Amino acid sequence: MEFMKFQLKRNQVLTNAIYLTLALISFLLMISASKDWKDYKWLFLLIEERNWIDLVLSFSLTQEALYFWPSKFFGEWIGFKSFILLTTMAFLTLKLNFYQKMSDRPWLTIFFYCCFYLFLLEGTVLRVAYATALVIMAIYTLYDKKPIISFCLILLSSQIHFTCLVFLIIFPIFYSRHFFTALVIVFVLSPLFIFFNISIFQIIELMSAYINQKYLFYSDPTLISEQNRTGLFFYFLAIFYALNLFVIYTLRHSVFSDPKVRVLVGTGLMGIIFMSTMYTHVAPATRLAELMMITLPLYLTSAFLEWRKSKYYWVSYLFIIFAVLYALARFVYLYPSLIPFLK
């Protein structure tokens, strides 16, 4: 028995060493190749110029103090790069450990996370990366029937990235099968918003004006004209719409009856709904979709295991290939300066 405990502890040490290595790789990509790195340094310089009395007196729930206050304190103490390195290591290790706890095939889930999210979040969009670690913890504690702790974790995540408040939707999804059914219907019909040229962005814009005016940046005409210059948005939407539809079909025997599966799939569906209903403003629509689909590695693992169980081996192999190709495409898209022929 003691030997088994030692083996388990040793395996977990090795696992965490792998997670820390992934965090280090992401950090190096962030500071060397990410276009967002200059914006994070600029934000740090702005917050560094402010004194603590001013920061405390200007506190509000929309100002994301859980990121900006520690970045000022630790950034001034150990340097901003060191703060980002340590924070990335801590939050990625935390996040992947909770993915591991929630998965029936942990390493498959970690593989999917690396393919779909690692380069994007830890390598580019830091605050979303950190905030989603708390979101995954919130889903885990909801599974564990601790809704108050789960609710508090969602609130804490919003103090790193305010838009994480959208994850409060996990509660009606978890507790109401009818709410989830309605969500699936909205998801299925959501492409009609594009067909009939209907966008809800103006509603989001009005809400942003009252909550935090910095989000009005996304309605800047110059930004809008540049948003879909690659022409990839509708391809991205179509691929993930089809993928989520296929997952619902694959998991049809459990997705409506099991609240745990509902939460994972339901948050992903919300991401597609945001893209379909805010298609006129590609940047916020895509950011919200990528945020909401943070559960994708978990429910894809469930779907993958179901494909294997049903002996649809060719589907599972094709999907592994798709995940790897997606990771390569994401890498090229996010870090073109590292690709010789794109320099």
pLDDT at site 114:
97
Given a contact cutoff of 8 angstroms between Cβ atoms, the answer to whether 164 and 174 are in contact is: no
pLDDT at site 129:
96
pLDDT along the chain (343 residues), means of 10: 48 90 96 93 90 85 89 94 97 96 94 96 95 97 94 96 94 96 96 85 59 55 56 88 95 94 96 90 86 96 94 91 95 88 58
pLDDT at site 261:
96
Residue type, 179: F
pLDDT at site 331:
94
pLDDT at site 59:
81
CA angle 94, 135, 114 (to 5 degrees): 55
pLDDT at site 1:
47
pLDDT at site 319:
93
pLDDT at site 230:
61
